[in-house]
Copies of this chain bind each other. A is one copy, B any other.
C-alpha cells in the first residue's frame, strides 16, 4: 500500500506559476480557499484582486460554485455555502481513517482517563478530525476542523519529527506567513522543539493552549512523512507530565492498531 503525497505545492505555494494541470480548477479552489480565509463575505472585486485574477473569471467561478452550493451570495457579497456541511458529514462518517479511529480513541480515553484526539496534516497545518473526552474534558471549545499549526503542540511537532530539512524550512515559512509564528522564527528554533531523533513521541505544555498538557505519537504510514497523529491531552490540574507520559505506550499501541487496520482494508 502506498500513501500518495500531494503533487505540487497546493494552496500554500510561494507564488511561482505552477505545473500545467487544470488551471481553471486550481484557480477556482484558490477562490474557495480565499473565501474561507476571509471569514466574512467578500465582494467580487476583493476576491478578484486577492486571488490575482480578472473580474469576469472570478465571477464565472463564483457562479458555478454557487450552483453547487459551495458558495452563497447575498447582494454583492459572496461566502462559503451550505454544501460544505454534507461534504464534511460525508467525510466524518465515511472516511476509513476517521471511522477506524473512533473506537480506538474511545478505548484509549477510557483506559487512560485522558482526552484522546486524532489529527491529520493538511498542507502546512493540521486539523483535528476526531476526539473522545476522558474523565476531565478540556474546557476550551472543540476545535474540530480548525486549522492548527504544525509547529506548536505535541500533535503538530510529532508530525515534523522525521521530515527533511527542506520541508522544515517550508513549514517555518508557512507558519510565519499564516501568522502562527513570529517573523523571527527559524528552522533551528523549530528543530530544537521537536523530539530528539529516536524518540517517537512529542510532549507539550502550555504550547498551543495554556493550562493544557499533551503527548502525541505519529500514526505510522510507512514513510518519513506521517500525516496523522494521535494525542492524549489533559488540563494541568488533572495530570502531570509523568502521568501523561505513562499513557504513551498505550497511545503507541493505539496508533499502531489504527495503522494496521488501514493497511489491511482494501476499501
**A61 and B25 contact, Cβ closer than 8 Å, known pairs A6-B66, A67-B10, A83-B122:** yes
**Most-contacted residue by chain B among A33, A36, A63, A84 (CB, 10 A):** A84
Would you list which residues of chain A between 150 and 176 have a CB under 8 Å from chain B?
A: none
Interface string of A25-63 (1 = CB under 8 A from B): 110110011011001110000000000000000001101
Tell me the number of copies of this protein.
2
Q: Does A144 contact B (CB under 8 A)?
A: yes
| A35-B40 Cα distance, complex, nearest whole Å | 28
* Number of chain A interface residues as a range: 35 or more
Interface majority SS (helix, strand, loop, mixed), chain A: mixed
Q: Does A248 contact B (CB under 8 A)?
A: no
Sample 24 A-B pairs with CB under 8 A, ordered by A number. A2-B74, A2-B75, A3-B74, A7-B63, A7-B67, A10-B67, A11-B67, A21-B63, A22-B24, A25-B61, A26-B64, A28-B28, A36-B86, A36-B87, A40-B94, A69-B123, A74-B267, A80-B91, A82-B120, A82-B129, A84-B91, A86-B146, A87-B87, A89-B144
